[in-house]
Chains A and B, each alone.
Chain A
Amino acid sequence: MEYVNIFIKSIFVDNMIFAFFLGMCSYLAVSKTVKTSAGLGIAVTFVLIITVPINFLLNKYFLADGALAWISPSLAEVDLSFLSLIMFIAVIAAIVQMVEMVVEKFSPALYNSLGIFLPLIAVNCAVMSGSLFMQERGYQNIGEATVFALGSGIGWFLAIVAIAAIREKLRYSHIPPALRGVGITFIITGLMGLAFMSFMGFKL
C-alpha cells in the first residue's frame, strides 16, 4: 500500500515540474512538438529508473552515516555523506553515457531525433533531484526508491507532453509579440502548477 501511495504522490502531488520546477530548461526547450517531448520524457523516465536505485544502494552501503559498518566495525563512525553530490552525478553521467550508446546501437532513428538532448539528460535537474530527494526522504528499501523514480519520471513525462500539446495549439492564437514563445509558456506552466496544487495533501 505504501508503494501505491508513493507512486501516486510522486506523479501528482510532488510533480517534478509543477511542484518543484526541476528539469525546466529542457522542458522549455524541447516542448515545441509532442513527438520530441514524448521521446525525451521516456528517456528521462528510463534514466531515473536506473540511477535512483543504484544511488540508493550507494547511499545505503557507502555514504550514509555509519553505513560502512558492514566492512568492519571500526568504520562505523565514518560519515561520507559530503561525497554524495559527486558520487550521484558520477553515476548519472556514466548511466547516461551507457544509455546513449545503447540507444545509438538499437534505435538510430530515436538517437537522431533526440540529438543533443540525450547527453543533456545527465545535467537535467530532475534526474539529479530524483537521487537527492531519495536521500533526503529516507526511503526504507530499494522497492520504494524504484517506485518513487518511476512516479517522478511519469510525472515529468506528463508535464512535458501536456505543455507541448498546448504550445502546438497556441500557434493559432493572438499573443502579443513580446510574450510569444518563452513568456507565454512560463505563464501557462504557472497556471498548470496552480491546477496541480489541487492534489496537495492527497493521501491514499
Chain B
Amino acid sequence: MKNIDLIKLPFSKENPILVQVLGVCSCLAVTAQLKPAVVMSLSVIVVVTLANLIVSLLRNTIPPRIRIIVQLVVVSTLVVLVDQVLKAYVYDVSKQLSVFVGLIITNCIVMGRLEAFAMVQKPWPSVLDGLGNGLGYSVILIALGFVRELFGSGTLWGYPVMEKLGLYEIGYENNGLMIMPPMALILVGLIIWWHRSRNKDLCE
C-alpha cells in the first residue's frame, strides 16, 4: 500500500465512522456545536497519530499476552496530557466535553488502529495511518457540528449567522431537534446513505 493511500483511503473509502463504524460514541455526543467538535477532532488526531508512532516504535518489544495493557497505558498517558492541555488553554470547551476527553482512551479508532496497523507496521506508515484516520474522523465531526449548530441554534462558532442574515424577521425559527442527541444519529444515517449511494461497493 502506497504511503499516500494511507491518508487518502480513510477519508472516504475506509472512513472510520462511516465504513469501519469506529469512534461513533464521541462523534455523536460532542457535535451539538462546532467549537467542541473541532477541539475534539484535534485531540483525537493528536492522540491517534502519537499513539500509532509510539506503539509502532515499541512493536517488537511488547509481549503478546500483555499488549492490550501496554496499548492502554500509552493511550491513557497521551489522553491525560491532552486533557491537561485542554484544561489550560480552552477551559470552557473542556468543561463542555467533560467525560468525552477521557473517553478518547476507549475510542475504538485509537485501539483499532493500534491493533490493526501500528503493531505490525513501521513507524512512518503508522504515523500516516493515524493522521489519515484522524482526518477522516474529523471530516464527519465537523460536518455534523456545522449542520447541527447552524440549524439548531442559528449560530456558527458562537457567531449569530441566522440573525445577521435577517432570517428571523421573515419567520424562520431554530430547529430545536437538531441540538438533541437523536438527531445526530439520524444525520449520520443520512450521511451513510449518501456515501454508500456514491460508493456502491460499500453496500451490504
Contact = CB atoms under 8 A, between A and B. Distances in A.
A28 B24 CA distance: 10
A20 to B, nearest CB: 6
A31 to B, nearest CB: 12
Interface in A156-192: 176-187, 189-192
Contacts of A184: 189
Contact of A22 (B23, B25, B192): B25
B103 A25 contact: no
Interface stretch (B49-57, B67-75, B118-126): B67-75
B79 interface: yes
Interface in A90-107: 90, 93
A122 interface: yes
Contact of B106 (A28, A123, A180): A123
Q: How large is the interface on A (under 10, 10 to 19, 20 to 34, 35 or more residues)?
A: 35 or more
Nearest to B108: A25
Interface stretch (A63-71, A125-133, A139-147): A125-133
The residue in B24, B25, B29, B69 that gathers the most chain A C-beta atoms within 10 A of its C-beta is B25
The residue in A25, A176, A193 that gathers the most chain B C-beta atoms within 10 A of its C-beta is A25
B58 interface: no
Interface in B99-115: 99, 102-103, 105-108, 111
Given A22-B25, A122-B68, A129 B186 contact: no
A109 interface: no
Contact of A19 (B103, B181, B194): B181
A197 interface: yes
A21 B193 contact: no
A125 B107 CA distance: 7
Contacts of A180: 203-204
B175 interface: no
A23 interface: yes
Nearest to B103: A125
A82 B112 CA distance: 25
B105 A128 contact: yes
Contact of B76 (A86, A178, A192): A86
A86 B25 contact: no
Given A93-B72, A123-B108, A190-B182, A183 B189 contact: yes
24 contacts: A19-B181, A20-B181, A21-B184, A25-B21, A25-B23, A25-B24, A82-B83, A85-B76, A85-B79, A89-B72, A127-B106, A176-B193, A177-B196, A177-B200, A178-B195, A180-B204, A182-B204, A186-B188, A187-B186, A187-B189, A189-B182, A190-B185, A193-B182, A193-B185
Given A86-B76, A197-B180, 14 more contacts: A25-B22, A28-B21, A82-B84, A85-B80, A85-B102, A129-B103, A132-B99, A132-B102, A136-B98, A177-B196, A177-B204, A179-B193, A181-B204, A190-B186
Closest 5 CB pairs of A and B: A190-B185, A193-B182, A186-B189, A187-B189, A178-B196
